[in-house]
Structure 1
């Protein structure tokens, strides 16, 4: 049994709606199939996906069709009559985090690897539905980044598991260098015929028929800084991804638009009303009237946004308090500490200890 370090990120659609995944996860697939000598039209046609859909950053495709796409490619490329090849394994190894679109950028722009992986976990349900991802610490003290599809109707999922762990490994390599290797790799599917390729690809022992898919690595890596750290970009990507996943009717109220604009602007300091009005192409007076109708002042909107973000950031234990202060638009940690104590009655440090 393992103890949870990060919250489980999962999503299951209600009713009969089929789970989906952002098409960004197939970025570069058409060219990769072509380079392997595969028939692009046949593979995509048999999977029910148009080739021009692959890689679209905001387009969603059915998760079952996405998994079928890679299974079909594995059958046609490098496989034989008995068993499919390792197409997903090698596609994942060359897949770069930036190709994951907003989800990938939210990770590589984080201040350190711990926050990068936490962003992957927390934002995963916006990227892919009916699936779970989490980071846990085992009894041996090692970290496990776990991934699994929950949709029982998707039976063929081996290629997806192998490409997904390859993608996640490359997020860690973005921080630790291209020669980084996990301590172990676990897959839930049985050992395939060409299993030695898996150990060569990950440069690590690989175990099959496991309870879930996972990368195992040392916990001290979580403290390492990300070379592409950009707090403003991280905030923007998180906000955009959450906005994309939250749309229901295609319309949102002005109050939520104002709060979203505030959230994006906070890493640059306190967001002046005039600046937010300019970003939204509205007058300051119209924003104030709309907020007043909702029983809020502009200062209230900033404060409530800061409060909700503060609690979320404090739950990310790898994110230093000084970084949280900057993300919330405070120039000094002391200013954030005073504000948080006023909101909750406890300091940020005490709140984090209580939550942990």
Structure 2
């Protein structure tokens, strides 16, 4: 295992776009370095830190990380945004964030554990040449904004926020942003929540992903010879199940309040099977995701519940005769029409 002292890490390219959005909103000079990262899937953590320092040199903010985090949108979070929008509770969302956090922010190993009646979410301390107050605060602020995007605001109650750096002159801005007690010069960079917070509901009914899933389900239904209410519910259940990597026929049949045999019989009447239906949905989703240039092939494989990227690539070539990369490149050369999935 790589030792922490040798750790450099990377960040998701969407965070570079977040900095660009912030710089434009503040009418800042866009440096060549910031321009170069706009089309990258990932870039070095060292570059991330340098970009933050460049921006701070222009704005001289007492809490730059908090200001930047205010501009975050789901598209800046990549695969985590897609997965989380299918979660039902905060506990499930935090679990998915923990599973995939390094796909978005690889600034340090994330730890999630119970401390008495509190839940601690923290990052391991990095060498001093890799971390600053800005990198620490933006890591926490992005996570908090992530929660605010997907959790009903009235359920978000932070019990405490800890930083390892000395206290700045103005700590009121931190208290206002986190709405929680703030401590500096602590041993860890940490957020503290009540364990009861784990059951807080996500904003599923209003999420953009639900609208996308609705359209995807309708596209699939239009291809079926005899669409029924069962078929529509089946599409939604499989779409959501793939997001959670929990799409086995037993699970889906239970959600439909049917036995496995009843579901299989229904599909048999339509001259198809459950596995064929799953593959149809995977194919549709794959083409949607491939049109988002900010999602890597590895991330798309995760979204489609493939255990390995190579399995996704083999399946896609069977569907289309092209590799995922070839299909994506061919789409980029075609008409510049708006892409639904990038509206996230």
TM range (shorter): 0.5 to 0.7
Distance change in 2, residues 1:39/1:194 (3 Å): farther
Aligned to 1:319: none
* C-alpha distance in 2 between matches for 1:28 and 1:169: 15
* C-alpha distance in 2 between matches for 1:15 and 1:88: 24
- How far residue 26 of structure 1 moved from its aligned partner, in angstroms, is 2.7
Distance change in 2, residues 1:14/1:51 (3 Å): same
Distance change in 2, residues 1:12/1:128 (3 Å): farther
Structure 2 residue runs without a partner (length 5+): 205-209, 211-239, 246-281, 290-294, 302-306, 323-344
Distance change in 2, residues 1:192/1:227 (3 Å): same
- How far residue 99 of structure 1 moved from its aligned partner, in angstroms, is 2.0
- How far residue 16 of structure 1 moved from its aligned partner, in angstroms, is 7.5
* C-alpha distance in 2 between matches for 1:96 and 1:186: 25
Aligned to 1:78: 60
Structure 1 residue runs without a partner (length 5+): 1-10, 80-84, 247-254, 263-274, 283-356
Aligned to 1:160: 135
Higher mean C-alpha displacement, 145-154 vs 21-30:
145-154
Report if the CA contact (8 A) 1:103-1:241 is conserved.
Answer: no
After superposition, the C-alpha distances for 1:102-158 in whole angstroms (9 at most, x for unaligned) are: 13322332232112111111212333446111211113x111111245355314x21
User: Aligned-pair RMSD on alpha carbons?
Assistant: 3.6
Aligned residues: 236
Aligned to 1:63: 45
Structure 1 residue corresponding to 2:190, chosen from 203, 210, 214? 214
Q: Per residue, is there more helix in 1 or in 2? A: 2
Aligned to 1:249: none
Report if the CA contact (8 A) 1:37-1:77 is conserved.
Answer: no
Q: TM-score, normalised by structure 1?
A: 0.56
Aligned to 1:109: 86
Q: TM-score, normalised by structure 2?
A: 0.58
Aligned to 1:53: 37
1:194 is the counterpart of 2:194: no
> Matches of residues 1-356 of structure 1 in structure 2 within 5 Å?
12=2, 18-41=8-31, 45=32, 49-54=33-38, 56=39, 59-79=41-61, 85-129=62-106, 131-139=108-116, 141-148=117-124, 150-155=126-131, 157-178=132-153, 180-228=156-204, 230-235=240-245, 243=298, 259-260=311-312, 278-279=318-319, 281=321
Report if the CA contact (8 A) 1:107-1:171 is conserved.
Answer: no
